[in-house]
């Protein structure tokens, strides 16, 4: 499900077996970000297509550059597309925008792309919100399949954070894969709650296709901190993930002006993974 795999980084070879990647900053040129991620010796790019500067690049040009650099890729889409809006016009526009992103991904050779369920649906019961999202994502999965792309569904921080929420989508889209975000699984837990990673892996581990890691302090703020800078027990979370036999792609979704925070997160991830 990757465009082309180059020789893994020296750190990845030492600690194996996962591929560690980084996401492009959407405020900067996609091509410049690809070069930067390659220079930092990551195994792949988590290519997000969203404004202001990453919508829309020339997919074929992106694909050629990835091929020249030997850099692998997975696809990421904007979390704020109103795919399940109660306004039909907004739903139609969101689907059109998503399809345009899929066209770009297909031109770039991307075969695995995520989708964020739409939890901003007002004045509806949880059951209705689940049903609206299941219907919308089933349509997007058909759009993706027609372009040779597999869709994966990402867990969120409020609605669509628990297995019962996501299960409605997977029941409607049996071929969809699961995209685990461990940072999201640590948010809005309530008093005495614990990170949801174990229950999500138990429910959907057989569908797991991709993982996002970033730290936070719990509560409701998705801070995208470097690993070890927040409250997540990373050794436990990585033991749980490794116990499933997972050996695929892990994106460090760490957002910082200082690049060393991203590099240090990779070193810690690979050390903890080796020890898990």
The DSSP-derived string for 201-236 is: HHHHGGGEEEEEE-B--STT----BPTTSSS--HHH
Confidence category of residue 43, pLDDT binned at 50, 70, 90: very high
Within 10 A of 36 (CB to CB), how many other CB atoms are there?
17
* CA–CA distance, 54 with 57 (Å, rounded to integer): 6
pLDDT confidence of residue 193: 85
Confidence category of residue 5, pLDDT binned at 50, 70, 90: very low
Give yes or no for residue 121 having a pLDDT over 90.
no
In this prediction the pTM is 0.92
Confidence category of residue 191, pLDDT binned at 50, 70, 90: confident
Mean pLDDT of the chain: 93
- Rg, Å, the chain Cα set: 18
pLDDT confidence of residue 265: 97
Buried b (16+ CB within 10 A) or exposed e, 179-192: bbbbbbbbbbbeee
Confidence category of residue 15, pLDDT binned at 50, 70, 90: very low
Confidence category of residue 2, pLDDT binned at 50, 70, 90: very low
pLDDT confidence of residue 9: 52
Confidence category of residue 66, pLDDT binned at 50, 70, 90: very high
Q: Domain 10-275's class? A: alpha beta
Q: Are 99 and 142 in contact (CB under 8 A)?
A: no
Average pLDDT value for residue range 210-237? 95
The kind and range of the H/E element at 264 are helix 259-275
Backbone φ and ψ of 150, nearest 5°: -95, 135
Q: Cis omega before residue 169 (within 30°)?
A: no
pLDDT confidence of residue 128: 92
Give yes or no for residue 11 having a pLDDT over 60.
no
Give yes or no for residue 143 having a pLDDT over 90.
yes
Confidence category of residue 163, pLDDT binned at 50, 70, 90: very high
């Amino acid at each position: 499900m990757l465009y082309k795999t180059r020789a893994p980084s020296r750190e990845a070879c030492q600690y194996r077996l996962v591929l560690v990647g980084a996401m492009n900053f959407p405020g900067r040129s996609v091509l410049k970000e690809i070069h930067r991620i390659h220079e930092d010796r990551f195994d792949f790019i988590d290519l997000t297509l969203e404004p202001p500067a990453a919508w829309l690049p020339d997919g074929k040009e992106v694909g050629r550059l990835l091929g020249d650099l030997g850099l692998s890729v997975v696809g990421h889409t904007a979390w704020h597309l109103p795919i399940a809006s109660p306004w039909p016009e907004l739903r139609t526009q969101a689907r059109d925008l998503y399809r345009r992103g899929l066209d770009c991904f297909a031109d770039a050779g991307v075969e695995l792309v995520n989708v964020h369920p739409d939890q901003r649906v007002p004045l509806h019961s949880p059951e209705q919100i689940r049903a609206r999202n299941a219907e919308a994502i089933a349509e997007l999965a058909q759009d993706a399949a027609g372009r040779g792309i597999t869709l994966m569904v990402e867990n969120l921080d409020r609605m669509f954070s628990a297995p019962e929420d996501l299960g409605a989508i997977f029941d409607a889209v049996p071929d969809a894969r699961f995209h685990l975000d461990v940072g999201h699984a640590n948010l809005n837990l309530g008093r005495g709650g614990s990170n949801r990673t174990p229950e999500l892996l138990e429910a959907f581990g057989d569908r797991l296709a991709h993982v996002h890691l970033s730290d936070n302090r719990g509560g409701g703020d998705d801070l995208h901190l470097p690993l070890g800078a927040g409250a997540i027990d990373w050794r436990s979370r990585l033991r749980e993930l490794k116990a499933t036999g997972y050996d695929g792609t892990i994106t460090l979704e760490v957002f910082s002006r200082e690049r060393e925070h991203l590099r240090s997160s990779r070193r810690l991830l690979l050390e903890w993974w080796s020890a898990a």
